[in-house]
Amino acid sequence: MAGQLFKVSALATAVFASSGFYLYDRQLHLDDLTVIRFGRAAATTAIISFDYLTAFKHLEYGTEEYWALRSKVHLRSAERLRDLCCANRGTFIKVGQHLGALDYLLPEEYTSTLKVLHSQAPQSSMQEIQQVIREELGKEVLVKAVHWLCPEFAFMWLVDEAKKNMPLELDFLREGHNSEKVANMLAHFPFLKVPKIHWDLSTKRILTMEFAEGGQVNDREYMKKHGIDVNEISENLGKIYSEMIFVRGFVHCDPHPGNVLVRKCPKSKKTEITLLDHGLYQVLEPDFRLDYCRLWQALIRGDMVGVERYSRRLGAGDLFALFACVLTARSWTAVNAGISSVPVTHSEDVEIQTNAAQYLPQISELLNRVPRQMLLLLKTNDLLRGIETTLQTRASSSSFINMSRCCIRAMARHRRSKARSRSRRVQVTLAECVQLCGLSVYELLLWVKGCRLGTWLTALLTFLH
């Protein structure tokens, strides 16, 4: 057991160690040198590893003393990772934010400790901010970024993605355009709010936008205090991301809790979701998006032939079973039965957490195989699943219904675009309507079953029978 926990902690710190260094204001900060950043990560890895490998030597597994000590070791290790993030900043903060959202996978000591990075990450001083504003708005200085290649590292897919995505995230004009694009694209969702951009006060290094109020999407106490329904929030968040992924192919890829705010509008008293930080988006290629739709439809139905076929088409190869489990965060038993028909249980979550460390080599191989587009989608899935776990809504069937609805629409749109006759387009549209109506009827039946009326009707039918 200690060896498995060591692997998880070592992976986390090894991921952190892939960050390079940068120049700011033409002065080299020694703390940002690769050798120093890597040295911190290596030292943290060594300390955590030693702690896990030695702490449990004289304790029997499963005793009260063992569980108490394990919690303390988890907490010590999580605090060391948090301190490493704060010291190395940059990409380390990004990875720490991601780990802090994986409630369904990592021990609670890790997620609760790293959650502070969602909204309380190290900040630049006002003097640094004012300097950037003077430089950018006054056109005084042009600062050039210098990119250094990272040392050879086992997780080279991570290095490649970081090198590609970090410059995009730091281009604030691009972020502003992404923000406006998604606001227009999802304007039909009245509950979604995207802050407006003040273009006259924005440059490539400064983004000035409308101030947004609200609590973090994983703050259950805030929602309870303000009368916000967690199930409504979870369902609406699922609608937003299902539309982005399956229908539009333009996906916001950083939905950690600090970037998703919720509130009740003071005027309408309706619940709103505000989406922040639009620097990182993934544009999905049409063929990739359609295969991804087909894969999720197969996963929801428990169509194992389809699961294998489309997993292989998405690059998983003979690791298709592991790919299905990673994608859904469900056990292979649940995947075989159809994830929409088997509720998430605590024992299943414990099984996944316990076994995750054993499959790190295979997961690494899988991440090297799949298309680069898949990596950010997996990150997005992880973060959304973490939010659902915190809100305790993972067992809800509404997310699968929303996903199915978007997949049906996406496939119908594709078939219409390929249709050569008007009659064929009408046929596709009618089939789409029938499928969507079937989903709505199913959703209604689930609602009736779950409410008091459903309970009363079930009891009456049983009595009459």
**Which residues are marked as active site?**
254
Supply 20's token pair: 């390079």
Q: What does the block give as tokens for 376?
A: 């950010």
Residue whose token pair is 């999905």: 284
Amino acid at 279: G
